[in-house]
Structures are given as structure tokens and as C-alpha cells.
Structure 1
């Protein structure tokens, strides 16, 4: 197994001290890098392990924070924090830019080859970075079919891949249609994969806490979605020795 080095990184954003998880691949040279944005409850070990897995594949990976080190166990408390955040593109972009700056500042990062992968709220932040014109090489999101301000999608300069469950009540068919229309009108190189029978957050293992209605794990599609994300990264930001 490839040796991976990890460390915690603290940085300011959204009036908070964010606590991210940085994973570095073996070796000393510069490598392509990936931002990983977490779901609405916040950064947990699941996404930290995702960063570690990408580092094993040769990427510098930063699982970024969105709540100042907090993980919300109460869905309503989470929504009270996340709902206004999702309605404020400027705040989302600031959170994303702060993580982007940390990742770009890592000496192992090739600053010209950075992608963003996001889940739920973290995916919305990744998309807003694209809409802000940040020079990402790819954006991959799961459960994050958010649309932006009119015209902003034209600033996206990289391929966009999105995955969603067919039975996700939080991201219903109307959301899929609006997202597709926005990407198409802007001339973005986009793909949308609908995973049949999957609910919201289908990619995430079950958690021992209350969850919102319409949330549920789908192990098979979770594996497929991860493989699809890795495939997008291999296409757009391949690891080369």
C-alpha cells in the first residue's frame, strides 16, 4: 500500500476557524490535487478517509471544513446553519476559496491541476467555485444539483460531473432539469448520472443518529458513484510520475 501522510490544517473562513484534513501521497514531487467538500452535517471521518484514498491514488487531497470543526447530529440544527449558507453564493465561494488557498499553498500541490469533489453542501460549494471562475480542472458532485445566478455558469472552465439518486426527494426531477438546462445553456462540458432507486446521501454509510426523510444508503450505487468520481479525476487530472 502506498504510504500516505496526513495532518490537520486550520484556516479562517466564514468567521470560523476551519479544521481540514490534508492527505499527501508518497514521494516529494508536485502532484495533482483535489478539494473534497462534505455533506451538510460537516466534515467527518468518512470524508477524511476519502481524502486518504485519493492520496493513495497519488493525489494531494484536502477534505475541507464548513462548520468550524463541528459535526451536526441534529438535522434541524444542521438545516438552520446550512439553509442560509446555500442561499448565499458569496459565503459558499468564500468557504471554498479559503480551502482552495490552503490546497494551492501546499508545496506538494501542482497549482495548475486542481479538481473539486463535493457531496451535498460541499458539492454546492464546489459548483460555486466554478461559477466564480476559479481555475479548476474538474468538478464532480454527488447530491448537489444547485443552480447559480444567471450567467455565472458561463465562468465554469472545466468539465462538470454530477450524480444523484432517482428517488432523492431533496434533489427531485425538477432540480435535475434545471441543473441540466443551466449547464447546457452555458456551454459547459457536463454529465449527469441518475442512480436508479437511490435516495439522498445514498453514498454515505449509515450513521447512528437522526436523519432527514428521504436519506438512505445504497451500497451498490455508493461504490459506483465513487468509481465514477475517480474516473472523472483520472480523465481530467491524471496522476503522472
Structure 2
């Protein structure tokens, strides 16, 4: 019985193959696809990166610029602001992702000299020093924006900024200060205001926060959203019920175990927030 079934299967396969070959042979010339057709040799994105230095206040900052070098058309730019650890591999990976999707992405260096903290105490010290001197923090961000606009791969259109944790606080405050951005997107960012004098902001602000985030006070988040709306921003706050602080970072669980931090990765919240951010970037930058 098995031998008969095998024979029948072979016959059916042979008939199907023979039919397919016959159809291929009988195709009219105008429907045949030549092996060297142009669309068969098209290339997808090839992301390359470079150190992107800029200076302000007599200090040099080392950002990370990522772009698709297979695309010769100037594209909109997105600034990525790192977590309190500094410009590390996670921030670079996000810049690479944006570059592969058609943006020119600059992961900025808010600490200077590309410094990266190795312990929460050091990270807290770095981030506090930046946010306690708001004029200097704004100058660092603005210097990166100004030089990025001059890059030949960047389109002469608006820019956007996204930030994580400390970086989320940075981009929310940049919007509150009236920085010329089309969109400011915060992921599990600290909503504490640092701007002494808010400025008008006509762009969109998207705030992604974890419902189980013990490091972000609900009252502070609501106050920041209201302050941004008062300056003209279109604000959208999205809460992920079971997500902890740092929910977008796949390395958050390891950091929690190593340092006893109340952080954790949440794949669903990560995917959902990233999709919402991309839709806003597309809407505001690609028109």
C-alpha cells in the first residue's frame, strides 16, 4: 500500500512539474522574465554609521549617525536621546533601526566625550548634572540639531526627536522650551520639568509610559502633558498597564537583576509603542 501511495505521489508531482514546465515554455516573449531584469538586482537598505562630532561650550560631543547609504535621496532626520547610562549600544541600535526605515538618525551624546556610566550612581550623577543646567542641556541638543541639518543626507524639512528614560525627559523638555521639532516622542521618560520659561510648540508630543512604572509619578506626567498642551502641543499619552520602567530595552531585566532596579522589558509594550512612534514620525516628517 505504501509503495502504491509513493508511486501515485511521484506521478502527481511529475505531472505538476511537467505542466509547469509546459506553461513556462509556452509563455509569449513579452511575458517572460529575463534573469538580469533590473528589479531582480535591486538592493535593500545598507545601514552604515559614523562618529558625528559637534561642539558647544568649549566641549566636544560624539554622536552616532546612522543612515542608509543605498539611498541617495536626502531624508528626514530623527535625533535619538539615550537613557541615563549614556550613548550606549541600545541607543545606537535604535538609530540603526530608524536608518533602515528611511530616516537619517543621530543618537546624540548628552554627556560629552561619549561617556557611558557603568553603575546607577554614576548614571544618576551624569544625568543630574545635565538637567540641573538647562541652558547647557539645550545648547548641547541644539548644537547637534544645527550640525545635523548641514549633513548632505538630511532633507531640508523638519526634524523629530525620540528619547528613552533620561532621554524621554530631555525630549519632553525640549518640546516644552519651544525647540523647533515636528514631533517629540518619549519612552518611559521622567516628566519632571526643567525649563524655566516654556515656549510655544506647534508639533506633536507622544508619551509612552508603563502603568506599573514606579519611577514615574502619575501626577507629574499629567502636569507635563497639561504644560505642553498649554504651549500649543498636540499631546498623546499612551499607558501600557503591566509595563515597568525601561520596558522598551531588552537588557532591562539583566540590569534589574544586577543592580536591583525596578525596571523590566515588556515585548508587547515595546512593539506597540515602537509602531505608534513610527506612525507619528511618518505622519509628521514624510507628510
Same fold (TM over 0.5): yes
Contact (CA 8 Å) 1:86, 1:121: kept in 2 or not? no
The superposition leaves residues 116-165 of structure 1 with CA deviations (integer Å, 9 ceiling, x where unpaired) of 1111222222233323333211111112223344651x421211111111
Contact (CA 8 Å) 2:80, 2:107: kept in 1 or not? yes
Aligned pair partner of 2:152 in 107, 112, 125:
107
TM-score, with normalisation over the residues of structure 2?
0.76
Aligned pair partner of 1:28 in 49, 68, 72:
72
Larger Rg, first or second structure (1 or 2):
2
Contact (CA 8 Å) 2:175, 2:228: kept in 1 or not? no
Aligned pair partner of 1:69 in 98, 103, 114:
114
Aligned pair partner of 2:172 in 94, 111, 127:
127
Matched, 1:227 2:271: no
Structure 1, unmatched stretches of 5+, are none
Contact (CA 8 Å) 1:166, 1:172: kept in 2 or not? no
The superposition leaves residues 77-121 of structure 1 with CA deviations (integer Å, 9 ceiling, x where unpaired) of 111121232233212211211211221121111232211111122
Structure 2, unmatched stretches of 5+, are 1-43
Judged with a 3 Å threshold, the aligned counterparts in structure 2 of structure 1 residues 212 and 226 are, in CA distance, closer, same or farther, namely farther
Matched, 1:55 2:103: no
Shift of 1:212: 5.8
Aligned-residue Cα RMSD (Å) equals: 2.0
The superposition leaves residues 43-74 of structure 1 with CA deviations (integer Å, 9 ceiling, x where unpaired) of 11122121111111111110111222121111
User: Which residue is equivalent to 2:36?
Assistant: none
User: Which residue is equivalent to 1:89?
Assistant: 134
Whose relative contact order is higher, 1 or 2, with alpha carbons under 8 Å and at least 6 apart? 1
| Structure 1 outlier segments of 4+, above 6 Å | none
User: Which residue is equivalent to 1:11?
Assistant: 54
